[in-house]
Amino acid sequence: MSKMIAKPWGYYEDFFRSSKVVFKKIVVNPNSQLSLQTHGNRGEFWFVTEGTGFMVYNELTKVLKPGVSIEIPVGVVHCIVNNGDETLVVYEMQYGFCSEDDIVRLDDKYGRENESGLGMGVNGSQCNPVALCDNLKKENEDAKDCN
């Protein structure tokens, strides 16, 4: 049985959740984005099925479109941005020690704190996808593209 969780950027739907693995569907509304974040105890694998946008992967950006898959190891700074007119759908598998408390937000467009309640990370500013990515390298092979 799946469980939908509403977020300011859209929603996610859990299909399976344990302490060692999670499988979920992430739906990002147009002109919305997840927080710029990192995790200390889990890695993630993403597979895009619908829509377009981009992701931040440390200091790089990567175009997201159907068929793109990305591995995000523990500690990598990342976020998903939907700068298009249609929803962006990404399936995510988390591995390691999986908990929604393992989110360290570095920037958040919606002003949210870390899930742990410890407050914002690096600078606490509102995340602007254009400003955020103006100085980032584009389409670098270091982004662990699994395609």
Quickly tell me which residue has 């958040």 as its tokens: 108
Question: What is the C-alpha to C-alpha distance for residues 92 and 117, in angstroms, rounded to an integer?
Answer: 24
What are the tens digits of pLDDT across the range 15-69?
999 999 999 999 999 999 999 999 999 999 999 999 999 999 998 999 999 999 9
Q: What is the pLDDT of residue 1?
A: 64
Identify the residue with better confidence: 128 or 107.
107
Please name each of the domains of the chain with its CATH number. 3-100 (2.60.120.10)
Size (the chain), residues: 147
Identify the residue with better confidence: 73 or 122.
73
- φ, ψ dihedrals at 42, nearest 5°: -145, 150
